[in-house]
Amino acid sequence: MKILKTIYIAIILTCLSFTSMNAQVHILPIWEKNIPGEIIENDYQEKQIYSENTLKQVSQVVTPTLTMYKPDIINTNNTTVVMVIPGGGYSHLAIDKEGTKIAEWLNSLGITAMVLKYRLPSDVIMKDKSVGPLQDAQEAMRIIRRNAERWKINPQQIGVIGFSAGGHLAASLATHYNEKIYNQTDTISARPNFEMLIYPVISMQDDITHKGSKNNLLGASPSSTTVTHFSNETWVTTSTPPTFLSHATDDKAVPCENSIRYYLALKKHQVAAELHLYQSGGHGFGLSPKETHINWTKEAENWLLNNHFMQ
């Protein structure tokens, strides 16, 4: 397994780059050496689902990566980068709908996007599955900030956007960025400068959580202390980054109370925040041009402009 991983990382480090219709794409490893808290299991392999030659879904991630999508036309005044975190209930990654397509939308705004393919919670390959995804997210943010000068980006304009369970991971990054969950190689901050959370899982409290995400991340019977620790609305402080939230009222998978409680916590701590609740749209709407949620991308763009996170 270690030999295969070494070969895999060596391949990506050659900067497998290719040109898509909308962007220049580069794949980067999150961990160049050992993954913190990993358990080697040779039979545990990444699974990919394709449809019409497009990678739609990924599960059983063993080697996490960042895929950089740079706009074809670079605006030298727009040095914003957004890390994209797909959802999937902490059981798989909706890597196309909430990854690649979101990167292409950000590229259309002149923003560089970094799609995070993170490890999903698993007792098979992790000593502590509850922190595995956050370890990847923290280090990914540090990689981006560590390379800010090299990639010609503004280290004060590095944001994150997360969807569903990916929204939980993004909010965890925004509220637990200082939590020591692996041995860092430097003092680079993992704090995003802003966050955009789209139909996010925020809380692990039973009355509003997405039970699949909770079970996958924390197990069947987590302690009340663990539930509180991973309920991000309880960890908002004045240092939590400015936040844009979008949710559909008729979301039956992840109740909109997740976004509402997070927004109220942000408001209480005087963190700049904007919440858009739509009459309809259900869950997982992504960029789908249906229902009343279709304007969320335009509203997110306006929010980025009004808060000077892009030009």
What pLDDT is stored for residue 311 in this prediction? 77
**Answer CATH for 2-306 from 3.40.225.10, 3.30.870.10, 3.20.20.80, 3.40.50.1820:** 3.40.50.1820
Instruction: Please list the pLDDT of the chain residue by residue as tens digits (311 residues).
Output: 444 444 444 444 334 333 344 457 899 999 988 999 999 999 999 999 999 999 999 999 999 999 999 998 666 667 899 999 999 999 999 999 999 999 999 999 999 999 999 999 999 999 999 999 999 999 999 999 999 999 989 999 999 999 999 999 999 999 999 999 999 989 999 999 999 999 999 999 999 999 999 999 999 999 999 999 999 999 999 999 999 999 999 999 999 999 999 999 999 999 999 999 999 999 999 998 777 778 999 999 999 999 999 97
What does the chain look like in DSSP terms, one character per residue?
-HHHHHHHHHHHHTT-EEE-SSEEEEEEES-SSPPTTB---TT---EEEEETTEEEEEES-SS-EEEEEEESS--TT---EEEEE--STTT-B-TIIIIIHHHHHHHHTT-EEEEEEPPPP-TTTBSSTTTHHHHHHHHHHHHHHHTHHHHT--TT-EEEEEETHHHHHHHHHHHSTT---S--SS------SEEEEES-----STTTS-HHHHHHHH-SS--HHHHHHT-GGGG--TTSPPEEEEEETT-SSS-THHHHHHHHHHHHTT--EEEEEESS--S--TT---STTTTHHHHHHHHHHHTTS--
CA distances from 232 to 59, 176, 245, 262 (A): 24, 9, 14, 7
Domain boundaries, the chain: 2-306
What pTM was computed for the model? 0.92
How far is residue 226's CA from residue 239's CA, in Å, rounded to a whole number?
22
- Which pLDDT score, from 0 to 100, does residue 76 have? 62
Q: Which pLDDT does position 73 carry in this prediction?
A: 67
- pLDDT value at position 5? 47
The confidence score (pLDDT) of residue 24 equals 73
Residue 17 has what pLDDT? 37
Tokens representing 56? 């739609």
- Determine the pLDDT at residue 14: 38
